[in-house]
Amino acid sequence: MLPLGTPAPEFALPDADGNTVSLGQFDGATAYLVAFICNHCPYVLHLRKDLARLADEYQHRGVAVIAINANDAECYPDDSPERMKSQIFEAGYTFPYLVDESQGVAKAYRAACTPDFYVFDRDRYLCYRGQFDESRPGNGVSVTGSDVRAALDATLEGERILDDVQKPSIGCNIKWKPGNEPDYFGKA
């Protein structure tokens, strides 16, 4: 996992319409939430509406929220930019949802699965990386976003987030292009 305190890796990626969005466009944000998601993963589908609500709430508090889809859309056409447009509408996303076609940004963040969440402070230093909450498809636990919410609240208050409360995300592996798997990706 990306070590706490790491500066946010920069990026400039296209959204589903081809407009370039960069991390630098959000200078002055009170905090940053970067989420690696996709269109077809059941774990993302399970929480997408709650992610949209959480994002809307924290955007009103000055938090920059950005989602990135790094999946190989050629092998997984459900993750194409065209399908991203419908996902944005269906989920109610009010934040940029970007395409990492080279998968270089996912590697820079050491993203492993969808969903995977990163909270950075106003100076863009990593404060939290991990799960949205304890809910999973079929486990009967309500989706609340409690882990990300607690991380954002602590970050906005200038409090340190303890490492032992940071639980890795669980979801579908990022769909790496053949031969593009990162060194940290476990190969069977």
Average pLDDT score, the chain: 95
Q: 177: exposed, middle or buried (C-beta count within 10 Å: 0-12, 13-18, 19+)?
A: middle
Q: Is the pLDDT of residue 162 over 90?
A: no
Q: Tens digit of pLDDT for each residue in 128-158?
A: 999 999 999 999 999 999 999 999 999 999 9
Encode 111-139: b = buried (16+ Cβ within 10 Å), e = exposed: bbbbbbbbbbbbebebbbbbbbbebbeee
Do residues 48 and 163 touch, judged by C-beta distance below 8 A? no
Give pLDDT, residue 187: 52
What gap in Å lies between CA 63 and CA 18, rounded to an integer?
23
Q: Which domains does the chain have, with CATH numbers?
A: 12-173 (3.40.30.10)
Encode 64-87: b = buried (16+ Cβ within 10 Å), e = exposed: bbbbbbbbbbeebeebbbebbeeb
| Model confidence, pTM | 0.96
Q: Tens digit of pLDDT for each residue in 100-128?
A: 999 999 999 999 999 999 999 999 999 99
In 60-178, alpha helices (H):
81-91, 104-109, 146-156
Q: Is the pLDDT of residue 16 over 80?
A: yes
Q: Tens digit of pLDDT for each residue in 58-83?
A: 999 999 999 999 999 999 999 999 99
Place of tokens 């079929």: 138
Q: Is the pLDDT of residue 188 over 50?
A: no
Q: Is the pLDDT of residue 20 over 90?
A: yes
What would you report as the CA-atom Rg of the chain, rounded to the nearest whole angstrom?
15
Choose among 44, 41, 34: nearest CA to 66: 34
Res. 174 pLDDT band, cuts 50 70 90: very high
Pull the structure tokens for residue 102: 């080279």
Torsion angle, alpha carbons of 132, 137, 141, 145, to 10:
20
Give pLDDT, residue 182: 93
DSSP label at 118? E
Give pLDDT, residue 1: 84
Region of 72 (left: φ > 0; alpha: ψ -120 to 50; beta: rest) is beta
